[in-house]
Structure 1
């Protein structure tokens, strides 16, 4: 194959999207160790090689002509070696994805020179392949359309969303416009749809300051667990995981929360065995007014998640909570904390 004069960024983008499909990657951060394992490629650390050869890490760096990592192809199998003595885990992640990029781009197969050592490649050819592998790494670890859709402006935000080092996040932002120009319309649509749930989670993630519940809802005014309106737009920090039930797309329980009847393949909102309401939604709620007047607040009919004690739109109680299928959040929070304390004592 004729050696390319410049980096083939359009080809890189095709390979990046192929990886997302083949590895079923729909959220972030991406784990390059898992990708290597899935493909049954070899993986060695510089420390392992140094011990085996009776050498120093510096000797391995000199032999591979790389401080970070290296890929070997024996005609059948790939083996990736990386410098495990580097303390920055984000840098190691980028290195591994860079080496995976060499494999995906067929750098070790398509060109006669690619033993991928500086002695076999001219500086110009080496730079072409390195640019392709770097582009592959940054666009798999933090795809251009996802970064743009989340409207991330700082390296801190990029590093937080994608698990990158600050250096890699900075490079990601600087190369954003260049990479975007390489995306054809079908690839733009693919990335937007393929990562839609991750994007929505990033845009609409909320956390309650009262009960620490974390959830994703674009227009929620109230916490579904405690019912308070003290919500902040952010990813979960020290979040609590409250118990709930698995529901279908209509907020209808897959298994009855009360009698555990699994044969629910019929119309209707109530279990035919125990009669409990199977759909978790906003329920009419008795309200004690500040002026001493008590009244019933009508349901807004909003369908809710399986752990919702309260309606995210109006703050009413949920059908599951009113039926006693879900515990009060304070009671459950106390039980969770006690369980954690017991685990710490035991282990």
Structure 2
């Protein structure tokens, strides 16, 4: 309009549309797509996809028209070309395969005879414990960032497109990597809702909204093994521990994050509130939560697992070292418990504290034997003798993280050994 000095009305008349048009340069066979920037973003996206559809479907070349408009190609032909371009656009912006997969994940299916359209008829892992109300149209609109009319059209023609894809034997494997642009977020703090959660892991609220949120917070995908232990350890990345371990032997972090109200509710290591009841988790406001955050900020998901190598030789049946890790003595009697040169225990036991009964009486806790490279006991989480004697580096030293003020290997120097 500025270059040609024409009014908006004349511009719309020239292109035959208020939304946009694709214009072919007959001299070189190239195209320019024009669109109305005053329209909403979702409408502009559809307009551009629609015009690209005309280009890829060869409509201009087939009918020898630089601009496709009713006056140039006739009403019936124009209608068919528009329908084809619309089909191209909706399957580019919102492919039927992915639309069906989104609806299926929310338990939405087509009712028999189509009298009620697509409605939720069953619970799924995504909708379990989800109190928010939603419809097929609202999910499609937000997940694929298209307008409400376009979402209704997508739903209305979904089954027809699926049937056509089946007839044409279209292979959707190459597009399965496409992810939806929206998901369920906490309405208050913006953290991503995990499937099945009734409460937000971050703030404990239970209101969620399905929306696009490119800057939304999300929990890193950290696994849990068959023994319901975090694997790898979310703080230090160690993934080698026994089946009954309650604590990481490298950093002492508990290998589960239970709810403080119901220990059977096990939560993500970053969770501050229980997914099931909203009560605080064990890690909330603890040093473990802080250390996990620091580790996750430094390491990406792909390189987080760590193997903490040890050169200490030991008997795998007894856990007794074959060479004293402090003075390097190798001569021990068959029943030796301590090194005869420096007095170091030959088995790396934990240094347990005291436990107190209901009457205020204190008793020493039991010692537990650990592998020679264990910094903390897997059973009670207390530091080990070898760690106390500074024979093992902290996980923070190995990962290059600053030592925390409340952590480290500072122990009472009066403790034996």
Q: TM-score normalised by the shorter chain: which range applies?
A: 0.5 to 0.7
1:135 corresponds to 2:108: no
User: Match for residue 17 of structure 2?
Assistant: 66
Q: 1:58 to 1:253 in 2, by over 3 A?
A: farther
Q: 1:191 to 1:284 in 2, by over 3 A?
A: same
Partner of residue 289 from structure 2, selected from 315, 325, 336? 325
Of structures 1 and 2, the one with the larger relative CO (CA 8 A, separation 6+) is 1
Q: Distance in 2 between matches of 1:187 and 1:84?
A: 35
Q: 1:253 to 1:108 in 2, by over 3 A?
A: farther
Q: 1:223 to 1:166 in 2, by over 3 A?
A: closer
1:277 corresponds to 2:253: yes
1:67-95 deviations in whole A, cap 9, x for unaligned?
Answer: 2211123335431111234x444332221
Q: Distance in 2 between matches of 1:191 and 1:135?
A: 20
How far off its partner does 1:134 sit? 0.7
Q: 1:194 to 1:114 in 2, by over 3 A?
A: farther
How far off its partner does 1:194 sit? 3.9
Q: Distance in 2 between matches of 1:92 and 1:62?
A: 19
1:167 corresponds to 2:149: yes
Q: 1:233 to 1:225 in 2, by over 3 A?
A: closer
1:235 corresponds to 2:207: no
Q: Distance in 1 between matches of 2:231 and 2:156?
A: 46
Q: Distance in 2 between matches of 1:66 and 1:237?
A: 30
Greater shift, 116-125 or 131-140, is seen at 116-125
Q: 1:83 to 1:206 in 2, by over 3 A?
A: closer
Contact kept? 2:35, 2:48, Cα under 8 Å: yes
Q: Distance in 2 between matches of 1:62 and 1:249?
A: 59
1:80 corresponds to 2:55: no
SS in structure 1 opposite 2:270? coil
Gapped regions of structure 2 (runs ≥ 5): 109-117, 119-134, 225-229, 242-246, 292-417
Q: Distance in 1 between matches of 2:57 and 2:212?
A: 38
How far off its partner does 1:98 sit? 0.5
1:174-231 deviations in whole A, cap 9, x for unaligned?
Answer: 3333323212286586499445x539x75xx3636xx5454232322443224x4x52
Counterpart mapping for 1:1-347 below 5 A: 50-74=1-25, 75=28, 77-85=30-38, 87-109=39-61, 111-118=62-69, 120-148=72-100, 149-150=102-103, 151=108, 153=135, 155-184=137-166, 187=170, 190=173, 193-195=176-178, 198=180, 202=183, 205=184, 207=186, 212-226=189-203, 228=204, 230-232=205-207, 234-235=209-210, 246=220, 248-250=222-224, 264=237, 267-268=240-241, 270=248, 272=250, 275-277=251-253, 281-283=256-258, 285=260, 298=263, 302=266, 304=268, 307-313=270-276, 317-319=281-283, 322-326=286-290
Structure number having the greater helix percentage: 1
1:78-122 deviations in whole A, cap 9, x for unaligned?
Answer: 31111234x44433222111112123323344x252434345534
Greater shift, 113-122 or 53-62, is seen at 113-122
Q: Which has the larger radius of gyration?
A: 2
Q: 1:241 to 1:307 in 2, by over 3 A?
A: farther
Q: Distance in 2 between matches of 1:312 and 1:77?
A: 55
Aligned length: 246
Q: Distance in 2 between matches of 1:164 and 1:324?
A: 42
SS in structure 2 opposite 1:177? helix
SS in structure 2 opposite 1:217? coil
How far off its partner does 1:283 sit? 3.7
Q: Distance in 2 between matches of 1:170 and 1:284?
A: 42
Q: Distance in 1 between matches of 2:218 and 2:139?
A: 30
Contact kept? 2:42, 2:146, Cα under 8 Å: yes
How far off its partner does 1:317 sit? 1.9
How far off its partner does 1:239 sit? 12
Q: Distance in 2 between matches of 1:95 and 1:249?
A: 43
Q: 1:100 to 1:307 in 2, by over 3 A?
A: farther
When normalised by structure 1's length, the TM-score is 0.55
